[in-house]
Amino acid sequence: MFPIRLVLACALAATGTAALAQSNATLYGRIDLGYRHDSGGVKNQIANNSMNAFGLRGTEDLGGGLAAFFQMEHRFDADTGTARTPFWDEISIVGLRGAFGELRLGRQGGPFGVAPDLDAFGGDTAGGAGERKAGADDKYNNSIVYWTPTLGGFSAAAGVSAGEGLQRRGASAVLRYGAGPLLAMVSYADRSNRDHAYAAGGSYDFGAAKVVLALAHNDGDATGKERTTADIGVIVPLGKGSIRAKLNHDDNDDVRTRNVGLGYWYDLSARTMLYTDVGLQKTENVKRITRYDVGIRHNF
């Protein structure tokens, strides 16, 4: 009996090892907190200077170049432990990828938001203030998004969010080109509120500095609220960190706001970073707002 049991145990172990080799799941996330001063809000606080999150993602190799995958990500305020709603606010998808490209189903960002997403600060910290997507960065519930494979540096995506009887569906698409130091994208959205939005974004890495640009326009045809945004920034490597700067313009239904940001981010390791930033915001006929922060970010 002993040899038979040993053979069975070895067979089960081998089967389990094979299964583990074909699939994986990863827990990931971010904790980012620091001291922050905001003359237009809370003067002194321990603040979330970027989105704190934890998520799960994984893939399963189905053979023949086909893979199934999933991703779920929750956002929360680390200073208080308060959860954002819905719980899987950032993304909750399942899909298939292969030689045909990638198909995603669930809650996710619409393809429109990819083009104007670039920002020297990632939209984070006191330096990264300012709207970049003309207010048209819609989250897609009940959606299907398809990404093509990359051919000659070009790829594209199109997505639709089903209204399911509650609202009009939304749809958007993006065309992307990336090769060497150049990244360029254009996108379009037919929004669920019947407005239309257009965007362009890109970056070029000169080696000594990387320049990023994001432009967007929401026509306001249905809502009557036209909006145009522009954001240009630069990232300059310096030692184990980088100097970051940006200029942001937001014309929101003829109310104009300017944001200027400057900061230094220092990498303690591949996952942990110290940073300090300052930001100035000026809206027409409103007193100037000054912000600055010092913080630590850890990715896991």
Residue 6 has pLDDT above 80, yes or no: no
Residue 120 has pLDDT above 60, yes or no: yes
pLDDT (0 to 100) of residue 162? 87
The CA distance from 85 to 63, in Å, is 37
pLDDT (0 to 100) of residue 207? 97
The CA distance from 146 to 90, in Å, is 18
The CA distance from 187 to 214, in Å, is 11
What average pLDDT does this structure show over 245-259? 97
pLDDT (0 to 100) of residue 140? 94
pLDDT digits (tens, 9 = 90+) for 130-179: 999 999 989 999 999 999 999 999 999 999 998 776 678 999 999 999 99
Residue 126 has pLDDT above 80, yes or no: yes
7-16, 149-158, 181-190, 240-249 — which is least confidently predicted? 7-16
Residue 92 has pLDDT above 80, yes or no: yes
Total number of residues shown for the chain = 300
pLDDT digits (tens, 9 = 90+) for 97-108: 999 999 999 999
Residue 113 has pLDDT above 90, yes or no: yes
Residue 1 has pLDDT above 50, yes or no: no
Residue 247 has pLDDT above 50, yes or no: yes
DSSP-assigned states of every residue in 158-216: EEEE--TTTS--EEEEEEEEEETTEEEEEEEEE-TTS-EEEEEEEEEE-SS-EEEEEEE
Q: Letter for the amino acid at 113?
A: G
Contact 169, 220 (CB under 8 A): no
Mean of per-residue pLDDT scores for the chain = 92
> Tokens 């990359």 identify what position?
150
Q: Letter for the amino acid at 145?
A: V
pLDDT digits (tens, 9 = 90+) for 10-57: 444 444 444 444 689 999 999 999 999 999 988 999 999 999 999 999
Phi, psi for residue 295 in degrees, rounded to 5: -155, 180
Contact 211, 234 (CB under 8 A): yes
pLDDT (0 to 100) of residue 23? 83
Phi, psi for residue 11 in degrees, rounded to 5: -65, -45
pLDDT (0 to 100) of residue 22? 67
What would the two tokens of residue 206 be?
A: 């000169």
What would the two tokens of residue 47 be?
A: 């603040």
Query: Structure pTM?
Result: 0.88
Q: Which of the pair, 13 or 287, is modelled with greater confidence? A: 287
pLDDT digits (tens, 9 = 90+) for 263-285: 999 999 999 999 999 999 999 99
Q: Is 208 exposed, middle or buried (0-12, 13-18, 19+ CB in 10 A)?
A: exposed
Residues 6+ positions from 180 with CB-CB distance below 8 Å: none
Contact 295, 34 (CB under 8 A): yes
Structural class in CATH, domain 25-299: mainly beta
Nearest to 184 by CA among 199, 197, 206: 199
Domain segments of the chain: what residues?
25-299
Looking at the chain, the whole-number percentage of residues with pLDDT higher than 70 is 92
